[in-house]
Structure 1
Amino acid sequence: MAKFLNTSATNYFLEELIKTAMDRLILISPFLKLNDRLKELLEDKNRLKIDVRLVYGKNELQPEEINWLRELSFIRTSFCKNLHAKCYLNEKSCIITSLNLYEFSQVNNNEMGVLLNRAEDSELYRDAYDEAQRIIRISDEVRMSLERISTADPHSEKVEEAEPETGWTKLTSSKLAKKLGISTKELMEKLTVAGYLEIKEDKHYLTPKSKEMGGEFRMGKFGPYFLWPESISVEPVEP
């Protein structure tokens, strides 16, 4: 039978929901911002190789937190535009609440929630689970990374905080530079000399040549970036 939760009960049962997850854990919250207690619980789920999915609408992680999250291979993150739902599920129970993850374990806010048990509230649980899966399907899975791109182009200097998990054999400029053992600035220069990029008003643009060989410009959730085929050659061709 569904159970009403006040502030303290929401915090308690959310922690229990995370701790008792043995098969899967879905955490849907508008803000990706984690406190120390939640990090500790997620690290334990990762050690147990539990499938964890974090769905968020806005990333508020600090650089060190992004690096921390990158190391947790069993935790996947997804970005969902216009997300306002707060729903937390494991294979046995579900909490629908006003509590954001970053407010977890805090008692200064007045929160409400409802706890659903899969065994006793099977239809309600199924409806909530199906909606959670729909939100995951319309979300973009991202791989957390934090890489400063140093280039001569002041408009191209940015932080790539996340890249889509596409399965393509294409790399961002920073990843390609790392593979080739050169700096991103040097790579951008080589791509320009090779005719794959052109500079207009201090900005880099793809040329028709680069588009023919598969170069792409992307506007991601965390800013613009280029994608390049792994096999691209940036060395001058011998006459």
Structure 2
Amino acid sequence: MAKFLNTSATNYFLEELIKNASDRLILISPFLKLNDRIKELLQDKNRLKIDVRIVYGKNELQPEEINWLRELTYVRTSFCKNLHAKCYLNEESCIITSLNLYEFSQVNNNEMGVALSRSEDVELYREAYEEAQRIIRISDEVRMSLEKVTKEENPSAGSEGEEGSDSDKLTSSKLAKKLGLGTQDLLDRLIAVGHLELKEGKYYLTESGKAVGGEFRMSKRFGPYFLWPSSLVVE
């Protein structure tokens, strides 16, 4: 049966849910700042090649946190606009709670939640799992969505919706729009011509990409992204 969880029980069940995941793990939390214990558990899941999906929506991730996540091959991180749900699932259990996957919340806040079992709460678990999958589908994977740039973070790129000023360079998403392509189509073409390479689900700028004016940048708010000359044409 479903179980009520207070603050300490929610934290305990969350760690157990992550630790016991043997096939898949879904962590949905608007705010994201992982404590050392959660990081240890996720690193272990990565070593075991467990498929982990993390969806967040509100917190400004620090570059060091993004870099840490990028090192985990089997952990995929997505950004979902207007996310407010907090839900954590593995192949057997689910927690729906007020608790963010955020270090401050886990230590300082009064939280509550409900734990579900796939075997005992069949319909509730199924509905929660299907909604989690829907949230994943509408979210943008970090390696693509983190190409957003603000004027403050990168003055040469201009404000949102502008093409840039002094360097006249565009993010991949803006260049794709200029060329009448989808962002993924552009990235595929950049790989095909040798300007980017894809390793273990992550994009890297090649020497060829640098030669045509491509740049790798890191945004404090959104993490890694690429800039390209606005005149770049990719056949």
The two structures have a TM-score, normalised by structure 2, of 0.68
d(CA) in 1 for partners of 2:121, 2:55 = 24
| Equivalent pair of 2:24/2:51 in contact (CA under 8 Å) | yes
What's the counterpart of residue 142 of structure 2? 142
* Superimposed CA distance per residue, residues 18-76 of structure 1 (whole angstroms, 9 cap, x where no aligned partner): 00000000000002321211111110000000000001113432222211111111011
- Which one has a larger percent helix, Structure 1 or Structure 2? 2
Secondary structure of 1:94's match? strand
Alignment of 1:1-20 (within 5 A): 1-20=1-20
Amino acid at match of 2:206: K
2:184 aligns with one of 166, 184, 190: 166
Q: Relative contact order: is structure 1 or structure 2 higher (C-alpha 8 Å, sep ≥ 6)? A: 2
SS at match of 2:96: strand
Q: CA RMSD in A?
A: 3.9
Contact 1:11–1:104 (CA<8 Å) still a contact in 2?
no
Distance in structure 2 (CA, Å) of the matches to 1:47 and 1:11 = 23
- The reply on whether 1:180 has 2:207 as its aligned counterpart is yes
Q: Distance in 1 between matches of 2:13 and 2:227?
A: 41
Name the structure 2 match of 1:196: none
Conserved? CA contact 2:190–2:234, under 8 Å: no
Q: CA deviation at 1:171?
A: 4.1
* Structure 1: segments with no counterpart, 5+ residues: 189-220, 234-239
Mapped partners of 1:227, 1:170: distance in 2: 15
Query: What is the match of residue 201 of structure 2?
Result: none
2:36 corresponds in structure 1 to 36
TM-score norm. by structure 1 comes to 0.67
Counterpart of 2:213, as a letter, is L
Following TM superposition, by how much is the alpha carbon of 1:125 offset from its aligned partner in structure 2, in angstroms? 0.5
Indicate conservation of the 8 Å contact 2:52/2:75, yes or no: yes
Give the residue type in structure 2 aligned to 1:54: I
Per the TM alignment, residue 153 of structure 1 is displaced from its structure 2 partner at its CA by 3.9
Match for 1:187: what amino acid? G
Superposition pairs of residues 57-206 of structure 1, within 5 angstroms: 57-103=57-103, 106-143=106-143, 153=156, 155=158, 156=164, 166=184, 168-171=187-190, 178-180=205-207, 187=213
In the aligned structure 1, how far is the partner of 2:155 from the partner of 2:123?
58
Correspondence for 1:213: none
Check whether the contact 1:18–1:25 (CA below 8 A) recurs between aligned residues. yes
One-letter code aligned to 1:96:
I
Aligned pairs, how many? 192
Q: 1 or 2, which has the higher strand percentage?
A: 1
* Alpha-carbon distance in 1 for matches of 2:122, 2:31: 28
1:72-107 deviations in whole A, cap 9, x for unaligned? 110111111100000000000000000000137834
Please list every run of 5 or more consecutive structure 2 residues that lacks an aligned counterpart in the other structure. Answer: 159-163, 174-181, 197-203, 215-221
- Alignment partner of 1:14: what SS? helix
CA distance in 2, matches of 1:18, 1:68: 18
Counterparts of 2:84 and 2:70, CA distance in 1:
25
